[in-house]
Amino acid sequence: MRTDAFALRHIGPSENDLQHMFKTIGVDSLEQLIYETVPDNILLKNPLNLDAPLSEYEYLNHIQELGKKNKVFKSYIGLGYHPTVIPAVIQRNIFENPGWYTAYTPYQAEIAQGRLEAILNFQTTVIELSGMEIANASLLDESTAAAEAMALLFDVRSREQKKNNVCKFFVSEEILPQTLSVLQTRSTPIGVELVVGNHETFDFSNDYFGAILQYPGKYGQVNDYAGFIAKAKTAEIKVAVAADILSLVKLTPPGEMGADVVVGTTQRFGIPMGYGGPHAAFFATKEEYKRSMPGRIIGVTIDTNGNRALRMALQTREQHIKREKATSNICTAQVLLAVMAGMYAVYHGPKGLQYIADKVHNSASTLADALNKLGVYQTNAAFFDTILVKADANKVKAIAEKQEVNFYYVDADTISISVNETTSISDINQIIFIFAEATGKDSFTVTELTTANNLPKSLERTSSFLQHEVFNNHHSESQLMRYIKKLERKDLSLNHSMISLGSCTMKLNAAAEMLPLSMANWNSIHPFAPIEQAEGYQIMLKKLEHQLNVVTGFAGTTLQPNSGAQGEYAGLMVIRAYHLSRGDNHRNVCLIPASAHGTNPASAAMAGMQIIVTKTMENGNIDVEDLKAKAIEHADNLSCLMVTYPSTHGVFESAICEITQLIHDNGGLVYMDGANMNAQVGLTNPATIGADVCHLNLHKTFAIPHGGGGPGVGPICVNEKLVPFLPTNPVIKVGGDQAITAISAAPYGSALVCLISYGYITMLGAEGLKKSTQFAILNANYMKARLENHYPILYSGEMGRAAHEMILDCRAFEEKGIKVTDIAKRLMDYGFHAPTVSFPVAGTLMVEPTESEDLAELDRFCDAMISIRKEIEASTKEDENNILRNAPHTLAMLTTDTWSFPYTREQAAFPLDYIAENKFWPSVRRVDEAYGDRNLVCSCAPIEAYM
Ligand SMILES: *Cc1c(COP(=O)(O)O)cnc(C)c1O
């Protein structure tokens, strides 16, 4: 046996544990367990056809070699992506730190105060730089954020506008090309008509509900939009502005001009370009639109003792994601990147940001002056960091590429040059040299930056920003390192204990999978660099697409979607395009079982589909009779079925092939939600069950860390009939030959983190992947065997087995005054993060251990659950002062001089032996959800300011 096989590191239980686990479950072998779990007719006959696995060492060598095929040129391309300096203290202590990147979305606020504070810093940065009232905790990228802005403005139309079906949306021709493409994708199905034009000649007629402007424009022109926004307001047209975050340090914020929404990316705040992502987009708006705002909002509230505490505000809203009434399906966002961008603002503070913005602006001005001297004229009337010059593009390109420099070539004689934080005087001199050579003039050098101001006087920022102490007190590295550590210690992540979140698949994020993200050859490539400079990426991404095709049994993959929900949307849009291509314009009914995740109906609504909900039976399975009746009733207009497999109840329904056949017989296609793919890989696949398209959550099944709520990657894999419709990108052509317009800003979505999934599959190989699935099922069934005498298990398969997760029914405990949240909070005292609470069934916990957890950890969790069960037994409805209802218990409670609870301190904080050795202390008492929603505060200002 090779002891360097990665599978041995990835999979928790060892060979020695197996007999004990089998005995507990009541099977003789893994094969028997799988036989009793997965329906026979869908089992794969052959192993996955993948390359032999590499060890960690071999993989790291391979990826280093492959990285050399990526050429890191100086990038002045701009268009929303800029080289930036990642502060080393942030790279080492956040980006490369499992304490940060393995955390889950902060639903359990008491053990997530650290990242909640970090995101609050991000929101504060966005609010203050944009001049708006509220901001969310990040969106997926600038282009989708712009589409969310359009959707919000459409949603908040006046009653009059809705009555008159006012549906035109003006898009300035200054908008980034990728944003225009995403707006096209998103507008059509919901009935919005885009009109692209020049904002100066816009007629402000009353058939428009909104407009979007780019600030500065795509090639750097800085326009004063105050007049436009004022006129729009009079005409009842609401205005969104896509803004460059760094320029807002020097420019009048759109909020001060009266904008209704401001969006953009925070990539240049210390996030590597990574060939397209992941980066945190921002979304800021006015208070009055808070209930329509997409995504998550971190808000300030109080805990049981009245102390300040943070939490996700309006959070019940997200759990339902408004289903069919949704205007957005955002679930996973870009939390880790938002944390980093917020920390970049903490690291630099207002003075540091000012310095960087000045330097960038002065570099652009210096360059403009120098090129002017060569007779290369700069044509932007005003600019921040990007100049637009007239020169022979072909000539310049040939010389620039020899010098390993990329500009953006607008047309044969127009070139856009965007400078950035990393641009030095010698870089400027190199550019001068290139243009001198191209124009046949003598080159010269500059030695210092000019301080000439090329911003319009009327747009100089006068308001201060980031005055809060957090942005002014952490400027030495010791201070910042300790601040980051202080926050990290408040958060429970996978480096403390298992996080058994059903449906979310919190598995190992191996160090070897993560290391390559820090390599310059991988993280410093602009997404619109000529593809021959990104050969390493092209090879890696093609291979990953191929691997995912093999795993799903499908013919084509796009990596564009930046989350599972974006994948759903992409898949439905591809289905829509397929029906349209056949002249079946009327096929727009989408069947969705009642048990579906909220993003399913939300995505279908965004794709303009009519949603028909089908029934779930008593045992949790799809009611095939009801489905059949509805498929037949809607046969003429049937577009598709969305189905999760194994089901959100953690069961391999044996009727699945019958179900997919039924849909096909009635002219529809089948969309499979792949969130539960961890129960399928290597055993069965979506093609085998009869699906036509699925999304995969690479941040669940394929080892990308959850990052505290993102990044995510949600590729879709499709069969042959749908390959032609896979999405394209307006700058770098990708996708099928009848491609739909862009789903995301970047051609390959978040290419950088695709390395993680590539590493995962490459190191596990066919055998390791299959074994991972088998062990995920083994671990779940082991826990089921240990817990089923203590908690009712809601659903199981026909032979009594769970798939990779199970639902513990906690509803009966309400008789004893114990709610499912009390159990979730009490688990914190035992050092564990709660399983998924109340999804897919209210009042339950959904447990998914994954294959990465070893037997001892599974046992600790089961022991904790069993011990809590005894505490529940001892509870009574009248007894409010009880150990569960008071949970979690903080160190401050334990160490008060007076202890007034009717149980001991030891019972409160150390109820089982294993805890003392590795105690995790929740940093606040239970947070008050209602208080925070009534008093929505989502920036760093002290809470007293709002009381
Ligand atoms: C996680 C999940 C989704 C959404 O995925 P995101 O990446 O968070 O957008 C959709 N469906 C199911 C069943 C899920 O578990």
CATH of residue 661: 3.40.640.10
Give the span between the Cα atoms of 243 and 248, in whole angstroms: 8
Q: Is residue 718 part of a domain?
A: yes
540 Cα–ligand 1 center, Å: 25
562 Cα–ligand 1 center, Å: 12
678 ligand 1 Cβ < 6 A: no
Beta bridge partners, 845, equal 808, 837
pLDDT at 316: 55
Task: Determine the residue of 319, 503, 706 to mutate for testing ligand 1's pocket, defined as the one with the most ligand atoms within 8 A of the Cβ atom.
Answer: 503
Boundary-marking domain end, from 723, 747, 765: 765
Q: Point out the residues of the chain with pLDDT beneath 50.
A: 317-320, 943-944, 946-947
- What phi and psi, each to the nearest 5 degrees, are found at residue 495? -80, 0
644 Cα–ligand 1 center, Å: 10
- Given phi > 0 = left and psi -120 to 50 = alpha, else beta, which region is 429? alpha
Boundary-marking domain end, from 744, 765, 786: 765
567 Cα–ligand 1 center, Å: 9
- Helices (H), ranges, 502-623: 511-514, 520-523, 535-552, 564-581, 599-606
564 ligand 1 Cβ < 6 A: yes
Q: H/E/C letters for each residue in 136-185?
A: CCCECCHHHHHHHHHHHHHHCCCHHHHHCCCCEEEEECCCCHHHHHHHHH
Nearest-atom number in ligand 1 for the CA of 644 is 13
Q: H/E/C letters for each residue in 687-724?
A: HHHCCCEEEECCCCCCCCCCCCCCCCCCCEEECHHHHH
565 ligand 1 Cβ < 6 A: yes
Note whether 661 and 778 are same-domain residues.
no
pLDDT at 320: 47
How is residue 225 written in tokens? 């939009």
Q: Is residue 169 part of a domain?
A: no
Our CA angle for 649, 650, 656, nearest 5°, is: 90
Longest dimension (CA), the chain: 90
Instruction: Indicate the angle between helix axes 56-67 and 751-787, nearest 10 degrees.
Output: 160
Residue with tokens 């916990």: 845
Note whether 745 and 640 are same-domain residues.
yes
Whether the Cβ atoms of residue 671 and residue 691 lie closer than 8 Å to each other: yes
Boundary-marking domain end, from 730, 765, 800: 765
Torsion of CA 861, 863, 864, 869, to 10 degrees: 130
596 Cα–ligand 1 center, Å: 10
pLDDT at 931: 86
712 Cα–ligand 1 center, Å: 10
- Report the domain count for the chain: 2
601 ligand 1 Cβ < 6 A: no
Whether the Cβ atoms of residue 810 and residue 868 lie closer than 8 Å to each other: no
What does DSSP assign to residue 281? E
Residue with tokens 């690291």: 347
712 ligand 1 Cβ < 6 A: yes
pLDDT at 806: 96
Nearest-atom number in ligand 1 for the CA of 648 is 13
Give the span between the Cα atoms of 80 and 4, in whole angstroms: 42
Note whether 792 and 716 are same-domain residues.
no
Residue with tokens 């995301």: 744
Give the span between the Cα atoms of 320 and 391, in whole angstroms: 54
Of 218, 223, 251, nearest to 239 by C-alpha is 223
Nearest-atom number in ligand 1 for the CA of 568 is 10
331 ligand 1 Cβ < 6 A: yes
Q: Is residue 154 part of a domain?
A: no
Note whether 575 and 680 are same-domain residues.
yes
Q: Is residue 424 part of a domain?
A: no
Q: How many CB atoms lie within 10 A of CB 379?
A: 14
Tally the C-alpha atoms within 13 A of residue 326's C-alpha that lie toward its C-beta: 32
238 Cα–ligand 1 center, Å: 32
Whether the Cβ atoms of residue 501 and residue 108 lie closer than 8 Å to each other: no
Nearest-atom number in ligand 1 for the CA of 714 is 7
Whether the Cβ atoms of residue 926 and residue 110 lie closer than 8 Å to each other: yes
Give the span between the Cα atoms of 422 and 588, in whole angstroms: 49
- What phi and psi, each to the nearest 5 degrees, are found at residue 694? -145, 160
- Helices (H), ranges, 376-471: 393-402, 425-439
872 Cα–ligand 1 center, Å: 31
Q: How far is CA 74 from the centre of its chain?
A: 28
Whether the Cβ atoms of residue 460 and residue 124 lie closer than 8 Å to each other: no
Note whether 872 and 756 are same-domain residues.
no
Note whether 647 and 782 are same-domain residues.
no
Q: Is residue 639 part of a domain?
A: yes
Q: How far is CA 656 from the centre of its chain?
A: 30
Note whether 645 and 664 are same-domain residues.
yes
Give the span between the Cα atoms of 454 and 342, in whole angstroms: 28
- Helices (H), ranges, 30-79: 30-37, 56-67
Nearest-atom number in ligand 1 for the CA of 599 is 10
Whether the Cβ atoms of residue 756 and residue 513 lie closer than 8 Å to each other: yes
3-state secondary structure of 52: coil
Q: Is residue 283 part of a domain?
A: no
Residue with tokens 């030891």: 906
Instruction: Round the CA-based radius of gyration of the chain to a whole number and report it.
Output: 28
Give the span between the Cα atoms of 410 and 414, in whole angstroms: 5
Q: Is residue 182 part of a domain?
A: no
Q: Does the pTM exceed 0.95?
A: yes
Task: Determine the residue of 139, 140, 144, 332 to mutate for testing ligand 1's pocket, defined as the one with the most ligand atoms within 8 A of the Cβ atom.
Answer: 332
pLDDT at 315: 63
How is residue 564 written in tokens? 């599972």
Give the span between the Cα atoms of 417 and 388, in whole angstroms: 6
Query: CA–CA distance from 2 to each of 14, 33, 52, 357, 841 (Å)?
Result: 14, 26, 13, 54, 44
Whether the Cβ atoms of residue 50 and residue 768 lie closer than 8 Å to each other: no
Query: CA–CA distance from 298 to each of 147, 312, 451 (Å)?
Result: 22, 4, 39
Tens of pLDDT, residues 116-132: 999 999 999 999 999 99
369 Cα–ligand 1 center, Å: 51
Query: CA–CA distance from 98 to each of 11, 276, 489, 700, 755 (Å)?
Result: 18, 23, 12, 16, 17
185 Cα–ligand 1 center, Å: 21
Which CATH number do you get for residue 879? 3.90.1150.10
Give the span between the Cα atoms of 898 and 118, in whole angstroms: 34
- Given phi > 0 = left and psi -120 to 50 = alpha, else beta, which region is 423? beta
332 ligand 1 Cβ < 6 A: yes
How is residue 314 written in tokens? 């309006």
Query: CA–CA distance from 798 to each of 451, 503, 849 (Å)?
Result: 75, 21, 21
DSSP letters along 449-461, please?
A: ------S-GGGB-
Note whether 760 and 777 are same-domain residues.
no
Q: Is residue 904 part of a domain?
A: yes
Instruction: Indicate the angle between helix axes 656-665 and 624-633, nearest 10 degrees.
Output: 10
Q: How many CB atoms lie within 10 A of CB 586?
A: 11
- What phi and psi, each to the nearest 5 degrees, are found at residue 510? -70, 145
804 ligand 1 Cβ < 6 A: no
Note whether 814 and 850 are same-domain residues.
yes
501 Cα–ligand 1 center, Å: 12
836 ligand 1 Cβ < 6 A: no
729 ligand 1 Cβ < 6 A: no
Give the span between the Cα atoms of 727 and 732, in whole angstroms: 11
Rounded to a whole number, what is the distance in angstroms from the first to the last CA of the chain?
Answer: 65
Q: How far is CA 282 from the centre of its chain?
A: 12
- Helices (H), ranges, 720-843: 751-787, 820-829
Whether the Cβ atoms of residue 407 and residue 401 lie closer than 8 Å to each other: no
- What phi and psi, each to the nearest 5 degrees, are found at residue 390? -100, 120
Whether the Cβ atoms of residue 430 and residue 423 lie closer than 8 Å to each other: no
Give the span between the Cα atoms of 622 and 628, in whole angstroms: 10
Tens of pLDDT, residues 783-821: 999 999 999 999 999 999 999 999 999 999 999 999 999
Note whether 760 and 805 are same-domain residues.
no
pLDDT at 356: 98
Task: Determine the residue of 318, 330, 503, 599 to mutate for testing ligand 1's pocket, defined as the one with the most ligand atoms within 8 A of the Cβ atom.
Answer: 599
571 Cα–ligand 1 center, Å: 14
For atom 7 of ligand 1, the residue with the nearest CA is 564
599 ligand 1 Cβ < 6 A: yes
Q: How many CB atoms lie within 10 A of CB 903?
A: 16
564 Cα–ligand 1 center, Å: 5
Q: How many CB atoms lie within 10 A of CB 899?
A: 12
Whether the Cβ atoms of residue 222 and residue 380 lie closer than 8 Å to each other: yes
pLDDT at 321: 59
The contacts of residue 895 (CB under 8 Å, 6+ apart) are: none
Task: Determine the residue of 697, 805, 836 to mutate for testing ligand 1's pocket, defined as the one with the most ligand atoms within 8 A of the Cβ atom.
Answer: 697
Note whether 744 and 804 are same-domain residues.
no
Note whether 758 and 778 are same-domain residues.
no
673 ligand 1 Cβ < 6 A: yes
For atom 2 of ligand 1, the residue with the nearest CA is 675
48: domain range?
39-54+520-765
3-state secondary structure of 235: coil
589-593/610-614 β-pairing: parallel
Instruction: Indicate the angle between helix axes 30-37 and 751-787, nearest 10 degrees.
Output: 90
Task: Determine the residue of 331, 606, 847 to mutate for testing ligand 1's pocket, defined as the one with the most ligand atoms within 8 A of the Cβ atom.
Answer: 331
105 ligand 1 Cβ < 6 A: no
